[in-house]
Chain A
Amino acid sequence: MRVNDNTIRADEDLYEMQADRIDKSLEKDADHTDDSTASRVSEKFSVKDLNLHYGTFHALKDVSIDIDTNAITALIGPSGCGKSTFLKTLNRMNDFEEGIKIEGSVQLDGQEIYDRAMNPIELRQRVGMVFQQPNPFPKTIYDNVAYGPRIRGIHKKSELDEIVEKALTEVGIWDEMKDRLKKSALGLSGGQQQRLCIARTLAVSPEVILMDEPTSALDPISTMKIEDLAMELKKKYTIVIVTHNMQQANRISDKTAFFLLGELIEYGKTSDIFLNPKNKKTEEYITGRFG
């Protein structure tokens, strides 16, 4: 069968149009790539030569690291490597430890957090923390979330109501909690309690959320919900998370820092660390060969 010349020409036109469209979309992709390289991520924390001693024990050794804004940074390493100690230095939760000595520089948005000028209470409002075991106060769900704002002097009911609803909505449990706000927080499931604790942190409008193994006491479904929540929250907050779960670090974090015996061994993009770590110790740890 002979094909009509006009049909062939029409086909050729169509293919040309498609090729044009592909070329344009490739150009657009290239433009996007240029944009992303051009806009550099700013640092929320800049840590330089941080050393921490508990008495004679040298727990952190010359740690220098920049933590990106609106990103999730995972801290990994075997037990006792200093990752939780490091996390606590970011909002001075170590201040009350006996015999502690901290040297070096930890800056939050360029401001030295160990300076006398820095008010630790204000710092902890800006840098909130979520712990391994969900630790709601033995109070109602409402009072747990309203606790921080009340301490900060907010007592007007309508204002508190708004804060509570906003915080519980942000952590995705408003719909299930709105009819039981006056019930005890201790009656919630582990996963719900942990999300309530995150809501309690959000209620004081922090800039950074530190999470110390926030899912290690939770079942897989609750874990996934917290992970999804962290991914959502990073749009507004900077998150630093300590985790023993390699898959979790790989799934949710943008950057990963590997600590060993108080030293920061390797720090970089999570995709690089988990595909092609530069240091042999990192490789051995993340593949489960030691630790």
Chain B
Amino acid sequence: MATRSVYDTELKKIDHSVYIMGTEVENAIDKMIFAFRNKSDALAADIMKNDDRIDKMETEIEEDCINIVVKESPIASDWRKIASYMRMTSDMERIADNCSDIAIYIRKISDYKEEIEEPKGLDEMFGIMRGMVRDTFESFQQGDVVLASSVIDEDDVVDQYFEKMNKEIGELMKQHSEHIQQYIDFILINKYIERMADHSANIASWVKFVVRGELDLKFTDRYAKESQKK
């Protein structure tokens, strides 16, 4: 006989809220990429306006998680889920914040008096990061650890792009020194995309924890590895 039906309903409600928050985050990214490609000031402003909604979702999920911990003391896979949701939603909220951060620069770029030569690889980098986020949420919905692992691996590709883009923007700065101020905006956008990919990989590692109960330690040692480089 099935027991704990109230508890199960509450857990499902949280599952659903995380799913909806994921959809909202994906929408924000799509809007942001569209706004970047079209230099749409209005759409960029809309992304920033909508950020509050996503913040609120995170807070509500966090409250629901805390309540269920206090009331039901979840253990085993239930606990892995709740503990992970609290971390995942924080990364999701940061991705949404990064959309708004980029939106600020899209608005600045749309105000440029004259057109400048844009860094070419940025659009491609947007595409890879977008794919990572899509796969992350797909892996979450399907409990697909193989897909989650591939997202984590793909973060290295974005990191390489980030370095490549910095060089490309640096070259453009040299060639068009009169637009250095504008290119700084692109450098910041480049950094935000790289951060979004990091958050996406973080979420993917939590998906693996929910499904398998194993913590992917790749992210805990990334700065240690970075410190070895010269």
Measured between beta carbons, the chain A residues less than 8 angstroms from B74 are 287
Number of interface residues of B (CB under 8 A): 16
Comparing B14-22, B77-85, B196-204, the segment that makes contact with chain A is B77-85
Comparing B2-10, B43-51, B52-60, B157-165, the segment that makes contact with chain A is B2-10
Measured between beta carbons, the chain A residues less than 8 angstroms from B1 are 290
> A289: which of B2, B73, B213 is its contact (CB, 8 Å)?
B2
Q: Contact size class for A? A: 10 to 19
Contact B3 A283 (CB under 8 A): no
Q: How far is the CA of A246 from the CA of B4 in the complex (A)?
A: 15
The answer to whether A275 and B3 touch (CB under 8 A), given A246-B75, A247-B73, A283-B76, is no
Q: How far is the CA of A277 from the CA of B2 in the complex (A)?
A: 19
Measured between beta carbons, the chain A residues less than 8 angstroms from B76 are 274-277, 282-283, 286-287
The answer to whether A274 and B75 touch (CB under 8 A), given A288-B3, A289-B4, is yes
- Residue A46 at the chain B interface, CB threshold 8 Å: no
- Residue A222 at the chain B interface, CB threshold 8 Å: no
The total number of A-B Cβ pairs within 8 Å is: 38
Contact B80 A276 (CB under 8 A): yes
Contact with B along A266-291 (1 / 0, CB 8 A): 00000000111100001100111110
Contact A275 B4 (CB under 8 A): no
Contact B80 A250 (CB under 8 A): no
What's the least CB distance linking B205 to chain A, in Å?
15
What's the least CB distance linking B64 to chain A, in Å?
18
Residues of B within 8 A of A (CB): 1-4, 7, 73-80, 212-214
For the complex of A and B, the 7 pairs showing the least CB-CB separation, nearest first, are: A276-B213, A288-B4, A274-B75, A283-B76, A287-B76, A287-B78, A277-B76
> Could you give 15 example pairs across A and B, Cβ below 8 Å?
A246-B75, A250-B75, A274-B75, A275-B75, A275-B76, A275-B79, A275-B213, A276-B212, A276-B213, A283-B77, A287-B74, A287-B75, A289-B4, A290-B2, A290-B3
